[in-house]
Amino acid sequence: MKKLLITGFFLAAVFTACQQQQGDRQEIASGHAPEHAAVKQQYTCPMHPQVIKDHPGDCPICGMTLVPVAHNETKAHSLKFSPAQLELANITMMIVGNGHSGQSQLINGRLAANTTQNEVISARAAGRIEKLFVKQTGIRINQGQPLYELYSEELLTLENEFLLAWDQYKAMGNENERFGSFLESAGKKLALYGLKPAQIRQLKKTHQVHARITMYATTGGVVTEIKATEGQYVAEGTALYSLEGLNELWVEGELYPEEAGKVKMGQQIKVLLPGSEDQPLTAKVSFINPELQAGTQLSVIRATIQNPGLKLQPGMQVQIAMPSAGQQAVVVPLNALVRDAKGSMVFVQTANNTFEPRMVKTGTENERTIEIVNGLSAGETIAASGAYLIYSELVLKQGGNAMAGMQM
């Protein structure tokens, strides 16, 4: 009887332990882990994943309600998507292969004014500036546009000489050809002093001289400097306006001496504008500085680029695609690469619809592809597009530090 009691007690203890173990397994399977295995819930902002809190609340940056950070069954750095999610996010895959790296080298550059297009408008006659019609810099003026009004005794004398020659020609031009040449000479002198043909015709028609003459722009461009003021007396040849021509600009970039040595005068290069990288412009190398920049020891190259419609502006930041020989290497599309302060990464497919980030070392790049020097091999499958969307999801999962614990 005593043996039976001991045996029954033992079986009951084993059964109870099994039930407890089974209950633990059921809790884990249903997502309710035991307390000792529980993961502390954290909360983050959908718009600012760097915000991490250990309790619900609002984002201190934008005020949005914080959402729980998801903890799924994949690896710490893995992300699994459904087919619908892949389609919605436009995530496509590609098998990595070898290609030509360095088809063109991208360097930073900027647009600058072509100083060979600069012009200076000067006073055509001595006198006093009564009125300026253009008083602001940065304004574009056109050839033939009125610029200023000049009071000039010198011009008044020339007008009287012209009218005298005109009267003599009308009176005796048929009898003596000299009066015709006198009239022609007087008209040319007025034109040289800045009067337009229409002003000379008006003088002949009205037979009235004017001491205040409107002077017109002899060329067009953007006003960069106004050197005269109203009421100022100016001599013949005094600079009044400085103009900058923008129909043709310079694009300038810096290269290492060994790279600059491969560039040739007249060579065509591609210029990529921010937001229009798929529509490169063509420029022609016009200058290679024989001296290196002090401090940086870089060589400056300059190319000329046409500016129809004046859509380009000096000071704009651009990228310059310099052609190079290229060699076989592992290359991926630029869209497949994610860059941040800690380095560069791609997303490698490790299972069906599952991606894992991998740190890589990059090499030369052009406007479409980039060389992977280390971290990726030909034959692996990566996300060719949608990489930044995957990265955003990873940031949400990791709580703001997507590359924590990762090494190349």
Is residue 84 within a helix (H) or strand (E), and if so which, with residue range? helix 83-88
- Tell whether 262 is covered by a domain: yes
Domain that holds residue 15: 2-36
Which of 225, 243, 261 is a domain's end point?
A: 243
Check residue 105 and give its pLDDT: 73
**Angle, CA of 131, 132 and 138, to the nearest 5°:** 170
Closest by alpha carbon to 154, among 128, 133, 187, 180?
Answer: 128
Q: Are residues 194 and 87 in the same domain?
A: no
- Angle between helix axes 197-206 and 178-192 (nearest 10 degrees) is 130
pLDDT given for residue 2 in this prediction: 41
CATH code for position 290: 2.40.30.170
pLDDT of residue 13: 41
- Interatomic CA distance for residues 268 and 276, integer angstroms: 19
Query: Residue 387: which CATH number?
Result: 2.40.420.20
Mean pLDDT, each 10-residue run in order, the chain (408 residues): 38 38 40 48 72 86 81 63 86 84 75 92 94 94 94 93 90 76 91 92 92 93 94 95 93 88 88 84 92 88 91 91 71 89 89 90 79 89 91 75 58
For residue range 3-41, what is the model confidence (pLDDT) as tens digits?
A: 433 434 333 343 333 434 444 444 433 444 444 445 578
Q: Is residue 164 part of a domain?
A: yes
Residue 344 located in a structural domain: yes
Q: What is the structure's pLDDT at 233?
A: 96
pLDDT at 38: 53
CB 325 within 8 A of CB 311: no
**pLDDT value, residue 197:** 92
408 with 375: CB under 8 angstroms?
yes
Domain boundary among 260, 295, 323: 323
Q: Would 404 be classed as within a structural domain?
A: no
Question: Cβ distance 222 to 246 under 8 Å?
Answer: yes
- Domain annotation covers residue 403: no
In 253-386, alpha helices (H): 257-260
Q: How confident is the model at residue 29, as a pLDDT?
A: 38
Residues 348 and 381 in one domain: yes
pLDDT at 23: 43
Query: What pLDDT digit, counting tens, does each position of 254-272 carry?
Result: 988 888 888 889 998 889 8
Asked if 21 and 46 sit in the same domain, the reply is no
Give the position of tokens 């459904």.
82
- Predicted confidence at residue 400, as pLDDT, reads 55
**Rounded to two decimals, what is the model's pTM?**
0.52
Tokens linked to 54: 């250990």
Contact 331, 369 (CB under 8 A): yes
Number of domains in the chain: 5
Contact 274, 106 (CB under 8 A): no
Residue 358 near residue 322, CB atoms below 8 Å: no
Residue 133 burial class via C-beta count within 10 angstroms: exposed 0-12, middle 13-18, buried 19 and up:
middle
CATH number at residue 229: 2.40.50.100
Contact 386, 79 (CB under 8 A): no
Let me know whether 204 and 145 are in one domain: yes
